[in-house]
Structure formats: structure tokens, C-alpha cells
Amino acid sequence: MAPYASNDLRLLTESVRRFAEKELAPHADELDREERLAPGIFKRLGDLGILGLTVPQQFGGAGLGAVALVSVMEEMSYADPGTCLSYLAHSLLFAHNLAVTGSPDQLRRYLPDVISGQLVGAFAMTEPSAGSDVLSMQTRAVLQGDHYVLNGTKMFITNGPVADVFLVCARTGDDRKDISMFIVERSMRGFSAGNRLNKMGMRASPTSELVFKDCRVPIENRVGAEGESVKTMMKNLDIERVGLAAMSLGIARACLDISLKYASEREQFGQAIVSFQSVSEKIANMYIGYRAARALVYEAAQVIDENRRANQEAATAKVFATEMATQTALDAIQVMGGYGYIRQFPVERLMRDAKLLEIGGGASGILRSVIVKEFMRKLHPKADHSKTDHAKAEQSRVAASVKPVGQ
């Protein structure tokens, strides 16, 4: 079980595990093949009580923290990472962000139905030419009377084809950091979602572009003060990154279990292949990597729950866990040989799912820069690194401009 877990957290994790075994795992391959979300899944997750884990109880949430979120997301991803990705976009990127930044009226209007699963949520930040360098976004919101008029395009938006309500980031001035956040409903005039994007992995999680063409959004749907969303956006990236790292734990654990079972049963030259050093070494390394990543992920979650700055811990956990999951999936395929390469066994799907997590929520190259930046901040707390940070962002934009997970 998860470190720091109380009895209540253990019971929550076990209930999610049972749900995932029954409701998700048997359908994961079918959902991947057909590129669709499980019908009614958000209502069922709402009934389970996990759509608002980090949301205050007065709005229907559980009032828990990042450690609980990590535990739940590991169990869901063990069964079906694609469904878990849509869960992350709904419960973390929308519900958590709104709970942290929204007005009391906005929370009353939207959170109860989002937490029950009556409404599906999504978060829209990434654009066709603004991924890792999110502050270069071009979508613009102009105040006209009692409405903002939004124009622009968002790309790689998880839940885009199915969401009822979106948190949308848009530029409200000419300064690079003059960005605001808005609640946009699917029914608002001038909003449209493009065709579903055909992805290599996470195919059970629907993804699309969003288009805003003179989309009129009431002024009361602006979240927070105008031009003040950057700080909130960046702070909430930490818990998103820890959530994505937790998904990697579930994928790695599934690959380990599948390949260990196969290697124990498969015989060649008169003995189980797990007895061959080349195979046993891979399995041992899978386990070592999983346990090391798990320690990093839960440590970062604990730092967040203690309301301490977690930039470095979250970035470290995500880089290590996501790269570990991809390598573990590749090793599982190698252990299983030809059987690992065909779709009758899930490790090829898990490998495809794992790769996205190295990209979304901050690509690994960008996050390594974040880790070093934190060292520099601690060494020189009064220094102004803004020019250096801007230069790094510009240099990396072409090479790492896609940040598709839910944003």
C-alpha cells in the first residue's frame, strides 16, 4: 500500500482496485482498439466517489490530497491507463483547478455536477504552436461589455470530443504573462470541437482540437482576476505531474506482473525462461525501477500535501517514473518475445500508453531544465533568471512544443 496511508486511504485504494478489476480491465483492449471512452464511465466514477478527491467537502468532494490521488491513479492505470487519463483531465485539470481558483459562485454552479459525473470537464491550454512554451499562446479574449469574446485554437485537448465544460486559458493583454482563465460551456455560441485525433496510445481517452470563433463568454465565467492566471497555472502543474507519474507506476506494475507470470510458465530448453539470467535480470530491473519510482512519486505527493514548494520533487518524480514505465514496457515485450508484440497480450498497448506520459504535462527535457532551475533558485535566491528561462523556452519550443495531456 501507499506510504503515509491511513486506514481510510487503504479502504479507498482497495475499492478503486476492485472497481478497476471489474469495470475497466476486461474492456481495456476493446476500448483501445475502438478508440472510445467506456460508456457512462464518468457517472460510475462519480458514484464511486473519486471525481473530486482533492475538492473541499462542502462542494461534494472528498477533501483529500495528492497522496490519495496518486494511490487511486496507480490502481486505475494498472487496469486501463486510457480511462485514467480522461479521469485526470476531468478530476484534476478541471475540478481541482477550479476548486483552487474559482469564486464561490463558480464552485456552486459547476463542481457538484462535475463531481457527480453529470458533467464532463476538460482543460485547454496547449495550442498548435504553443506547447512547452505555453506563454506564447495566441488565443485571445477581449472584453466587450459584459462578455469576453474568445478567438483562437487549442490542440491535444483530452476529453475535447466529450466534455461539457472547459477551463480555457487565453491572452487578455500584450504582456507575455497577461493570461486569464475562463469557464466555457460546450453550448456557448462560437465554440466547436474538431475531429478526434488518432493517437498511437491512450486511445481510450478521446482527444481533439478546440476552436473559438467569436465565442462569447460571460464576464462572470472569468476565473480569478484578469491577467493573473499564470501563477496558478504553474503551481497546479506540480500535482498534474505527480498524477501522470502515478499513472506510470500503474503501467509499470502491470507490465511487471504480466511478464513475470509469462516467464514463470513459458518453457524453453526444458525449463521456465525465468531461470535464464537474461530474462531474470530484466524482471529484477523492472521491479527495482518501479520501487524507486514509487518512492519518488509518493515523496512528491507528500510535499504537495504539506503545502510546500514541490517543483523539483514533482519534476523529478515525473521524469524518472515516466521513462521507467516506457523502459519497463519495452522489457516486458522483450521477455515475451513474439507474444509481447501481438495485440492478444496487453504489453504492446501498455508500451504505447506509457510513451505519452514522457511528453504530456511537461516533456522530460523541459522538466530536467526545471530541476536545474530549482537548484539555481536555491543557490541564488535573489537572482533574476527570467531572461535565462525565456531563452531556454525559446530554444526548446521547436523540439518539445507538444504537451498534449489534457491541456
Tell me how many domains the chain contains: 3
| Residue 404 domain flag | no
Query: Which pLDDT score is estimated for 400?
Result: 39
Query: Which pLDDT score is estimated for 231?
Result: 85
Is residue 258 domain-shared with residue 354, that is, in the same domain? yes
Give the separation between CA 406 and CA 357, rounded to whole angstroms: 11
Is residue 132 domain-shared with residue 114, that is, in the same domain? no
Containing 195, the helix (H) or strand (E) segment is strand 191-196
Is residue 204 domain-shared with residue 311, that is, in the same domain? no
Decide which of 72, 90, 120 is a domain's last residue: 120
| Residue 68 domain flag | yes
Is residue 385 domain-shared with residue 248, that is, in the same domain? yes
Residue/partner pairs of 389-398 with CB below 8 Å, 24 or more apart? 393/132, 393/133, 393/135, 393/136, 394/133, 396/132, 396/133, 396/365, 396/366, 396/369, 397/131, 397/132, 397/133, 397/136
Decide which of 191, 223, 255 is a domain's last residue: 223
Is residue 164 domain-shared with residue 46, that is, in the same domain? no
CATH number for the domain spanning 180: value is: 2.40.110.10
| Residue 366 domain flag | yes
Which domain does 73 fall in, by range? 7-120
Is residue 131 domain-shared with residue 112, that is, in the same domain? no
Taking 70 as the pLDDT cut, the residues of the chain under it are 1-5, 383-407
Is residue 168 domain-shared with residue 302, that is, in the same domain? no
Query: Which pLDDT score is estimated for 406?
Result: 55
Is residue 37 domain-shared with residue 173, that is, in the same domain? no
Query: Which pLDDT score is estimated for 405?
Result: 53
Residues near 240 by beta carbon (within 8 Å), at least 6 away in sequence: 88, 92, 93, 361, 405, 406
Cell numbers describing residue 270: 526444458
| Residue 2 domain flag | no
| Residue 185 domain flag | yes
Q: What is the pLDDT of residues 193-233, one digit of tens each?
A: 988 999 999 999 999 999 999 999 999 999 999 999 998 88
Is residue 69 domain-shared with residue 183, that is, in the same domain? no
Is residue 105 domain-shared with residue 12, that is, in the same domain? yes
Is residue 116 domain-shared with residue 134, that is, in the same domain? no
Name residue 93's amino acid.
L
Query: Which pLDDT score is estimated for 5?
Result: 52
| Residue 403 domain flag | no
Is residue 139 domain-shared with residue 41, that is, in the same domain? no
CATH number for the domain spanning 342: value is: 1.20.140.10
Which residues participate in catalysis according to the annotation? 240
